[in-house]
Structure 1
Amino acid sequence: MTGQKYGVGGTAALVVAHCAGMLDLTALPVWVGALVERFGFSPQQAGGIVTLFLLGAVAASLFVAPRLNRINQKLAATAGYGVAALAFFAASTKSGLAELAALHLVAGLAVGTGLSMVHGAIGKSANPHRLFALAGIAIGLLGIVLLGVLPQLLIAFGREALFQVFGLFMAIACLFCAVLFVNPDRGEVHASAPFGRAIWFTVFGISVMTFNQAMVFSFVEVIGKLRGFPAEGVLGVLIALGIVNFLVPSPLAAILQRRLVAETVVQIGPAVQAVFAVIVTSATVFALWAPVAAFFVAIQIFTHTFAFGLLARLDRTGRAVAATPAMLMIGAALGPIVGGALGQNFGFGALGTAGVAVAILSIVFFTKARSA
């Protein structure tokens, strides 16, 4: 497989920046939980604040992805993560709903810009599936840190620690991009043909699956405590979730790259996700709830690794994968606020029912993509 080779330094920059940009994938429960418990917002308000961050990322990605090959990707990535760091550090000094909402929007716009540059570069690599899997392994390690350490930091240093940690991650990504990011070749800079049906249906399928992920996962911590599970048990599940994400989905996706058909994986993934969603939102026995909750995110990571490689294969210009933040975060943006509204008004068991319906839609999109 031909493609760009970035070397150790360039690869490290892409992996670190990917982890920072995909912060929501692992941090959502603590993020939403802290906004509810430590800032005093309702579940719907907390979900709305995070949704603004995600919508900002979507808007930025939709704007820059089509222009990927006309942009200095290193400069845009460095600036994006730098602005995001400043926004989160500023958020650590605020407590009002309007102020935090505005800063989340700014951070989202900045992250969406930087992450689109990173995903576009990964998509042009010699093996996008493997590099994205490597980045997924790193996200698992980051999850262990965030889900295991961040709640303890909140207890020890107060609510300000949440955004200080987020700002630190963005600052580190900014530094890596400034020093090590390698601009990919622009051999296909003039390629601007419209995407085919297979690409569009794959994009829709990923977006819908991510909506499901965010709708349920945002409230895992809240659901666990409402079920009466011990606080230390819920914290243990979050730590286990990070370990699982580190050890299982991305390494497995890398190993099975040549053994599984990507089109089949993306059809099965949403069905497994739906089953897990029902259990996470309805189980009242901790011994059943805990392992399913711990593996919930792994389904998304494993499936999306194959979807990313599939898109990179379908579009070698890099534009489709550069829009990954948009296709992921449009689903993730709506997930927290819809989940909060359902949970607040109908009980969190309603999230499981909604999860099944959404999974069916995702499977339909992936099936149409395969037959396109």
Structure 2
Amino acid sequence: MSTPDTPAGRAVLTLAHVIGMIDMVALPLWVGALMQHHRFHPAQAGLTVTLFMLGALIASVVSARLFNRVAHRLATSGGFGLAAASFALASYWPMAPESFAAVALCHASAGFGVGTALSFTHGCIGRSANPHRMFGLVNAAMGLFALLFLGVVPGWIASEGSTFLFEIFAALMAFVALVSFVAFPKVPRADAATAHESSTQVPAAARLLIGVVICLTLTQAMVFSFMERIGIAHGFGAEKVHGVLIVMGLVNLLPGLLAAWWQRRISSVAVGAAGPMVQAALALALSNSATFWPYAVASSLFVSVVIFTHTFLFGLMNRLDSTGRAAAATPAMTMAGSCIGPALGGVVVQTAGYAGLGAVACAMALLAVALMSQVRSQMRHRATLAGAQA
């Protein structure tokens, strides 16, 4: 029997994570293609991708509650199948502003399918023997995929248009739907302690961590969505900007591996507090730099900070809640930020210019640090109660 800790089970979960989190890789190309080829204005392009994220958010909220009640294999393969059909339908609409409503509706449907599939994928990762290490490794695989994707797809989009991007999405989703249907791992039956914990509320500290992840992903989606457009607007040229995307793919190979390696060497709480501040500093450099190299360095590192920080937060969350419910809500917490980010970014760009993105990123970092301070307090309180009961 394949489980999350067998080689076959790990391979399927890795594939499902990589394809399900494709927005982390494709977001700047996605928004840029909608603006350039469909001729959507920034708010429309941002809203289209936001509807994808919103669909994933709604699906994940529902799926997390059903994680221990629904067949994981069928839910995952069905979710990816719905996403494949939705993107295939989106590819048939003409590249014109008049297609906005239809393309946006297809994105919402695709997002619902991806959110369902990812919830069960992440819930199974959370029930593995070492969720922190496994989450780090699947993120390293996502970095390898990003390198391949960003090295090849921009040229295809330039020659074929944004509908070809939807065809690529559809093909990838269909492939992982088939693999999931055939070989999705089976999670071992919960023990008595975990079953009892499943009937109680998710701990307060874990709920606060959800807020931190939302802050991280909102900033990531808001700034990353317009990374390509920022470079073009500053006159760096499409070739240089696409080169930065390839370098970013190389850099993204490292954070998951480093997070897995440093699991017991660095405090998860410290990483959770420092990560948003580093992210805000990079956002300021990326959105305000008038010269190429500061923009290039900040862009190359921007996503890796989120991957590294989120891996530690994922591991900490599973220590606080071992039922898999909080892990299954990972798409909800990431998409809650991600679905707001592109639309918010579009509004900020239209009203305050690209420099406004850095200011909003700083505000989100302050909120995330405040939430991590409360997480630390809750964990100390929990440890005190445990000591008193012992």
State the TM-score, normalizing by the size of structure 1: 0.97
**Matched position secondary structure for 1:257:** coil
Corresponding residue for residue 50 of structure 1: 49
**Matched position secondary structure for 2:252:** helix
Counterpart Cα distance in 1 of 2:247 and 2:38: 26
Corresponding residue for residue 245 of structure 2: 238
- After TM superposition, list the pairs within 5 Å mapping 1:58-69 onto structure 2: 58-69=57-68
Corresponding residue for residue 186 of structure 1: 189
Corresponding residue for residue 156 of structure 1: 159
Corresponding residue for residue 37 of structure 1: 36
Structure 1 unaligned residues grouped into runs of 5+: none
Q: 1:286-332, CA deviations, whole angstroms, 9 ceiling, x for partnerless residues?
A: 01110111110000000000011111111110000100000000100
Q: Is the 8 A contact 2:4 2:185 kept in 1?
A: no
Moved more, 280-289 or 117-126: 280-289
State the TM-score, normalizing by the size of structure 2: 0.93
Corresponding residue for residue 143 of structure 2: 140
Corresponding residue for residue 205 of structure 1: 212
How much does 1:64 deviate?
Answer: 1.2
1:118 aligns with 2:90: no
AA partner of residue 38 (structure 1)? H
Corresponding residue for residue 262 of structure 1: 268
Following TM superposition, the consecutive aligned residue runs of length 4 or more in structure 1 with deviations greater than 3 angstroms are none
Counterpart Cα distance in 2 of 1:80 and 1:57: 10
Counterpart Cα distance in 2 of 1:159 and 1:271: 34
AA partner of residue 231 (structure 1)? A
**Matched position secondary structure for 2:93:** coil
Q: Which has the greater radius of gyration?
A: 2
How much does 1:221 deviate?
Answer: 0.1
Corresponding residue for residue 303 of structure 2: 297
Number of equivalenced pairs: 368
**Matched position secondary structure for 1:69:** coil
Moved more, 152-161 or 355-364: 152-161
Corresponding residue for residue 84 of structure 2: 85
AA partner of residue 356 (structure 1)? C
How much does 1:189 deviate?
Answer: 4.7
Counterpart Cα distance in 2 of 1:239 and 1:192: 46
Corresponding residue for residue 349 of structure 1: 355
Q: Is the 8 A contact 2:285 2:295 kept in 1?
A: yes
Q: 1:247-274, CA deviations, whole angstroms, 9 ceiling, x for partnerless residues?
A: x211111111110111111111000001
AA partner of residue 137 (structure 2)? L
**Matched position secondary structure for 2:129:** coil
Identity percentage of aligned residues: 44
1:335 aligns with 2:349: no
Correspondent of 1:99 among 93, 99, 102: 102
Q: 1:113-171, CA deviations, whole angstroms, 9 ceiling, x for partnerless residues?
A: 00000000000000101111111011101111222211111123333211011111111
1:219 aligns with 2:192: no
Q: Is the 8 A contact 1:69 1:189 kept in 2?
A: no
Corresponding residue for residue 272 of structure 1: 278
Q: 1:177-231, CA deviations, whole angstroms, 9 ceiling, x for partnerless residues?
A: 1122112023145622012210111111111111011111110000000011121
How much does 1:5 deviate?
Answer: 4.6
AA partner of residue 15 (structure 1)? T
AA partner of residue 292 (structure 1)? A
Corresponding residue for residue 364 of structure 2: 358
**Matched position secondary structure for 1:156:** helix
Moved more, 224-233 or 171-180: 171-180
Corresponding residue for residue 318 of structure 1: 324
Corresponding residue for residue 180 of structure 2: 177
Counterpart Cα distance in 1 of 2:122 and 2:185: 13
Q: Is the 8 A contact 2:277 2:365 kept in 1?
A: yes
AA partner of residue 241 (structure 2)? V
Moved more, 135-144 or 54-63: 135-144
Corresponding residue for residue 385 of structure 2: none
